[in-house]
Amino acid sequence: MDPSIWNTRAVIVHRDDNGYGLTVSGDNPVNVQTIKKDGAADRAGIREGDIILKVNGTLVEHMNHTEVVNLIR
């Protein structure tokens, strides 16, 4: 993937009583696979296919799926 074509944005997702409302997949980078309609991620503007570059200020673009999920939790 060519990083020069990425439209990057910062999005803050606040977990609600139902969690974050998203599933992620892949490794290096991890991307958003599905979004729960009206869930926390949907309300924050996350979209299916978005690539996760940072979690809580930590660069994760070269981390594997398990590492990123552990940071999200």
For residue 7, the model assigns a pLDDT of: 81
Q: Residue 67 sits in a domain of what CATH number?
A: 2.30.42.10
Q: Which residue has the higher pLDDT, 6 or 32?
A: 32
Around 51, how many Cα atoms within 13 Å sit in the side-chain half-sphere? 17
- Note the pLDDT tens digit of each residue in 8-41: 889 999 999 999 999 999 999 999 999 999 999 9
- pTM equals 0.85
For residue 11, the model assigns a pLDDT of: 92
Helix (H) or strand (E) holding 66: helix 65-72
Q: Report d(CA 13, CA 1) in Å as an integer.
A: 25
Q: Give the domain extent around 51.
A: 3-71
Q: What is the domain count for the chain?
A: 1
Q: Report d(CA 31, CA 13) in Å as an integer.
A: 15
Q: Residues 32-52: what's their mean pLDDT?
A: 96
Determine whether 44 is exposed, middle or buried from the number of CB atoms within 10 Å of its CB (0-12, 13-18, 19+): middle
**Does the pLDDT at position 1 exceed 80?**
no
